[in-house]
Amino acid sequence: MKEHAESKPLKYKIIAWIIFIFLSSLFIYLLYYVYNVFWGLPKEILAPIIAAFAAIFVTIISFFMTKYWERRKIIEQEQLRQKLQLYEQFIGFWVRDLITGKLQESGIMQEKSKQFFIDFIPKLILWGSDKFIKDYYDFLKNFSSGLVQDPDIIFQKMLIYEKLLYSIRKDLGYKNQGLKEKDLLSLFITDIRK
C-alpha cells in the first residue's frame, strides 16, 4: 500500500513526460512535413507559415495546460478546506475534552467521545493525509493503553500527540521551522518544560 501511495505521483510525472515528448515529437514532425511541402516556396512566404503553425501549437498547449492547472488548484483548495475542518474538529476534541480530563468524568462525556469517533473516522479516511492517518493510528495505539498515573508515560503520550499536531501543520503547508519538541505542547501545558 505504501509503495502504491509513493509511486502514484511518479506515475503521473512519467505520463506527463511521455505526453510532452509525444507532443514535441508531433510538433517537430509537423514542422518537418511543412518544411518539405513548402521547400520550394520563397523564404518570405515560408517564415510566416511556420510562425503561424508554431503560434497555433503553443496556443493549444497553453489552453490545455491552463485548464489542467485550474482544475488541480480547485481540487487542492477543496481538499484544504475539508482538511481544515477535519483538523479543527480533531484538535478541539482532544485539547478541550481529553487533555483537560473531562471525558473520564461521566457517561455523558463517554457518549460524546463515541459520537466524535463516529463522525470523525469517515472524514479522516476521506480527507486525512497519509502521514496524518499513520500518526493518528500510532497515537490511538498509545493512547488506548488505558489510564496511567506514571508521569513519564503520560509525558511520552503527550509527545506522541504533539507529533500528530506537527503532522497536521505540515499537511496544511507549514514548514514547522524553528519549532522543536514541546513547543506546541507548551501552548496549553504551561509546565511542560520543567
pLDDT in tens, 10-19: 888 899 999 9
pLDDT in tens, 22-37: 999 999 998 888 677 7
Q: Determine, yes or no, domain membership for 163.
A: yes
Highest mean pLDDT among 86-100, 113-127, 149-163: 113-127
Sign of CA pseudo-dihedral 159, 90, 118, 116: positive
Which residues, in sequence order, are CB contacts of 165 under 8 Å at separation 6+? Answer: 91, 184
Q: Determine, yes or no, domain membership for 193.
A: no
The length of the chain in residues reads: 194
Contact 5, 129 (CB under 8 A): no
Residue 21 shares a structural domain with residue 116: no
Residue 84 shares a structural domain with residue 39: no
Residue 112 shares a structural domain with residue 159: yes
Which residue, of 75, 105, 127, is where some domain finishes? Answer: 75
The arithmetic mean of pLDDT across residues 71-96, rounded, is 89
Q: What is the pLDDT of residue 73?
A: 95
Please indicate whether residue 129 or residue 9 has the higher confidence score (pLDDT): 129
Number of domains into which the chain is organized: 2
Q: Give 155's pLDDT tier (boundaries 50, 70, 90).
A: confident
Please check the confidence at residue 156 and state whether its pLDDT lies above 80: yes
Residue 45 shares a structural domain with residue 102: no
H-helix segments, the chain: 2-37, 43-93, 107-127, 130-143, 151-171
Q: What is the pLDDT of residue 12?
A: 86
Residue 91 shares a structural domain with residue 171: yes
pLDDT in tens, 131-147: 889 988 888 887 766 66
Residue 62 shares a structural domain with residue 88: no
Residue 106 shares a structural domain with residue 169: yes
Please check the confidence at residue 96 and state whether its pLDDT lies above 80: no
Which residue, of 46, 75, 104, is where some domain finishes? Answer: 75
Domain of residue 162: give its range: 80-187
Residue 84 shares a structural domain with residue 177: yes
Which residue, of 55, 75, 95, is where some domain finishes? Answer: 75
Q: What is the pLDDT of residue 103?
A: 47
